Structure 1
Amino acid sequence: MNLRAVVCTALLAVAAASGAADARARNVTDPDAPRSLPEQGPVSVRWTDPSRFSDIRHSRNRAAAVRGDWVRQIAEYLRERAARRLPPGQRLEVEIRDIKRAGEYEPWHGVALQDTRFIREIHPPRIDLYFRRLDADGRVAAEGERELRDSGFMMGADTVGAGDALRFEKDLIDRWLGRELPAP
């Protein structure tokens, strides 16, 4: 067997193994998909039913909109970034209530592009959430609903995160955390 065949066989085995590991949640609306991150550290993140999220309800390609694990990825990013900024001893509880990712599917481009999300200024990212920040004694230090919006999201676009399909949503989170949890 030549080297190319060995490499191809190894890559197929890895792909099959990772596919089996991810088989538990085919899409974000699966009834058995989690609705929160496992408890870990000072930040907890949960979310409402993704089938009610604007990104899915108003999508021009619902099948493509539900595909993947993007809700969990956004939640993990939020937890990781908030944990870095949260003062010692404090806790943050976040419930994501709605997500509309940047861009939209445009099926009129034909079958070859029906699963492609086109990023245009008229489809900015939006995230609605509720949060509670607790001080070291467990008292509520801050709480409220926030509507994260950026209608000029393409103006500040850079190429650093160009390979990340959730870069615009992550930028919303970073800016919100910068306002809510200013650096010490």
Structure 2
Amino acid sequence: MRLQAGTWLAAALLAAAGAATAGVTVDYVKPDEFLDMPRSPQDREHVLKEMTRHFNKLAEELPAGQNLKVTVTDIDLAGREEPRRWAMDDIRIMRGGADWPTMKLSYTLEQGGQVVRSGEESLKNMMYQQRINRHFSSDALRYEKQMIDDWFHKSIVGSQVSSR
């Protein structure tokens, strides 16, 4: 009987903690029509999973009880994808000119069922190669993640653009 009471208490505490945590929902509208995505279905899926994973990581910074809903309507990755004749895959070339990453999204930040903030944004990271980036150079989406970080900290949690 004592074990059952302890189990019930643990389950109740977990349920209460789950209700108080922050979260994020990310939806992609017609990702096959995005301006610039890899041609390979596996590579496209990888990009979307990595973007979602990054939004989830940022959601850990939200105060308990807040939920962020993001709808991405377009993505243009940094650089340009160019085919390689001698290889099965393409290569992304970043020249630092007018090939900066951009993203169009709408968002709603809620707390307790009430909208705290919402809007539509066109994100861009025009100086993507001139800034210090906290993401590893081996991360293929480091410039896009930096752009998302800047938006999140400015528009969602209210701090300044990262200098990292």
TM range, smaller chain: 0.7 to 0.9
Q: Does 1:54 align with 2:54?
A: no
Identical aligned residues as a percent:
29
User: Cα deviation per residue 1:101-145 (whole Å; 9 max; x = unaligned)?
Assistant: 1111234x6434961111121211111111001122x11111011
User: Cα deviation per residue 1:54-95 (whole Å; 9 max; x = unaligned)?
Assistant: 114xxxx734895551112101111221x2221221111111
TM-score (norm 2): 0.72
More strand by share: 2
Residue among 54, 59, 71 paired with 1:77: 54
Q: How many Å separate the matches in 2 of 1:144 and 1:135? A: 16
Q: Which residue of 2 aligns with 1:103?
A: 79
Name stretches of at least 5 consecutive residues in structure 1 with no aligned partner: 1-39
Q: How many Å separate the matches in 2 of 1:45 and 1:98? A: 13
Q: Which residue of 2 aligns with 1:45?
A: 26
Q: How many Å separate the matches in 1 of 2:34 and 2:137? A: 24
Name stretches of at least 5 consecutive residues in structure 2 with no aligned partner: 1-20, 160-164
The number of residues matched between the two structures is: 137
Distance 1:159 1:46, change over 3 A: closer
Secondary structure, counterpart of 1:102 in structure 2: coil
TM-score (norm 1): 0.65
Runs of 4+ in 1 over 2 A off after TM superposition: 61-68, 109-114, 157-160
Contact kept in structure 1, 2:78 and 2:100, CA below 8 Å: yes
Contact kept in structure 2, 1:85 and 1:182, CA below 8 Å: no
